[in-house]
Amino acid sequence: MAALNMFDITGKHAIVTGGAQGLSRGMAEGLLEAGCKVVIVDIKKEKVEQVCAEYRAQGYEAYCVVGDLSNRADLNRCFDEAMEILDGRLDVLIPAAGVTHRDLPEDYPEENWDFVMSVNLNHVWFMIQRALQVMLKQPSGGKIITIGSMASYFRCTAVTAYTAAKGAVAQLTKSVAVDCAGRGININCLCPGYMDTEMTAGMTQQRKDETTPRIPAGRWGTPEDMKGPAVFLASHASDYLNGALIPVDGAYLVK
């Protein structure tokens, strides 16, 4: 296979969760621009419908399914609806939806812990499981891209549930890779650093000003920075890469 052809994902079918905004939208957009048919699953009905309408107006095959991924029954319904749209074929799964809550450990509310874990960890696992049940029956196998964080490597202050979930996603990725690598499945984890998205919009300007000098690249990341890594992991170019944690962080981790 010619080197450039290895990156060709034209015509592949994908599901991206949380793709109405932020890094998830960046990755969904990257797949669309590379020629994929993409179903975006999100809880924000008006927003995700608008996003998909904008993409279709540009000629992309973008479709949406609205649902609550923290609810197991609704998650299964979303997956089933997405598979109907994709004609029963799934080449790429990116379970990227994520939430956070900030509180000191001793004050962390139980309901917030449960919600963060249900979205950031449980939804990831159950989407992976449903995807494997499809991909393992396909001659072409499939690609799964999980989303970790710098919190997959080290602790982050006052986001206990988020840190626990992102650490678990990293280990989950490795576990599934070991079980499925010889069966046509590739699963790898992208670990964003400090990203300029809606999730970090609540940070004070002082905190942002303190953080930026610690990033060797000299800037925060954007959803655009996730497009290339996502396309690479969705393509044949990554066929021998499995169970890897890949920082997308402007060299923050290694400073």
Q: Report the catalytic residues.
A: 162
Separation CA 231–CA 200 (nearest Å): 24
Region for residue 40 given its phi and psi (left: phi exceeds 0; alpha: psi -120 to 50; beta: otherwise):
beta
**Buried b / exposed e across 77-96, counting CB within 10 Å, b at 16+?**
ebbebbbebbeeebbbbbbb
Q: CA 130 to CA 15: how far, in whole Å? A: 12
Could you give the CA distance from residue 144 to residue 230 in angstroms, rounded to a whole number? Answer: 10
Q: Can you tell me the distance from the alpha carbon of 235 to that of 10, in angstroms, rounded to the nearest whole number?
A: 10
Those residues with Cβ within 8 angstroms of residue 138's Cβ, 6 or more apart along the chain or in another chain: 89, 90, 91, 184
